[in-house]
A and B are shown apart, each in its own frame.
Chain A
Amino acid sequence: MGLRKRTEPPHERQNRPRSIEQYLAALRVALAGEDPALVQDALYDAEEYLRAEVAANSGGSEADTLELISSTYGAPEEVAEAYRTTESRCAPRLRRRRASPRAPHSAAFSASTAIRAPGPPSSTCCSRSSPASSTSR
């Protein structure tokens, strides 16, 4: 994976994690108050990703590698926000779908079935978080 540096404001530079442990601690703080299972999954995902990337970029220091990784994986606050947003947007829709497999997603794509009044379809579940990247790490 190609990692590129981005320009960073000074306040971000001061606060950025210098180790995986610091990154995970910051992520835990950013997720404070969330469902413990969500926090556990987020920490597991982040640790797995960070350790794999540090191993794959073993030429530099952990701090330098983390700086690069944060620009692609996201800062702890950004990652926490992604979990929070996905939880509030997608979970209810997917749960509704599981309860009633045929109907619920028509609500998410209401323009397809109730097309009489033109307008933008309501935002779709996971539309914010559906990059075409690989699903394996």
Chain B
Amino acid sequence: MKQGALYPVLRQLSANGLLASRIVPSYAGPPRRYYRITPAGRGTLAEWRDIWRSTRDFVDGFTEANGASS
């Protein structure tokens, strides 16, 4: 995974209102862009986290059940 792959994702999240960014001048080089999560982003993150937990719990339950029966 190269770091350059991160920026297209940030771009998409920003374009969809899940992240906001601001540009801050830097003394040591060019201006830097800082990202922060928006309220909509937090809501989406919570939603995705719930979905992921459900998926994980299902897979754990499935593998444990199959492991126990084999």
A-to-B contact residues, CB < 8 Å = 38, 41-42, 45-49, 51-52, 54-56, 72-74, 78-79, 82-83, 85-87, 90-91, 94-95, 97-98, 102, 105-106, 109, 111-113, 115, 118, 121, 126, 128-131, 133, 135-137
- Per DSSP, chain A at the interface is helix
Contact A52 to B9, CB < 8 A, known contacts A73-B4, A111-B55: no
B-to-A contact residues, CB < 8 Å = 1-13, 15-19, 26, 28-35, 44, 47-48, 51-52, 54-55, 58-59, 62
Contact A78 to B2, CB < 8 A, known contacts A86-B12, A106-B51, A126-B12: yes
Q: Are B32 and A90 in contact (CB under 8 A)?
A: no
Chain A residue nearest to B10 (CB atoms) is A135
Q: A41-B11, A49-B4, A90-B9 are in contact. List 14 more A-B contacts (CB 8 A).
A: A48-B32, A49-B7, A51-B29, A73-B4, A79-B5, A86-B9, A86-B11, A86-B12, A90-B12, A94-B18, A112-B52, A129-B6, A129-B9, A137-B33
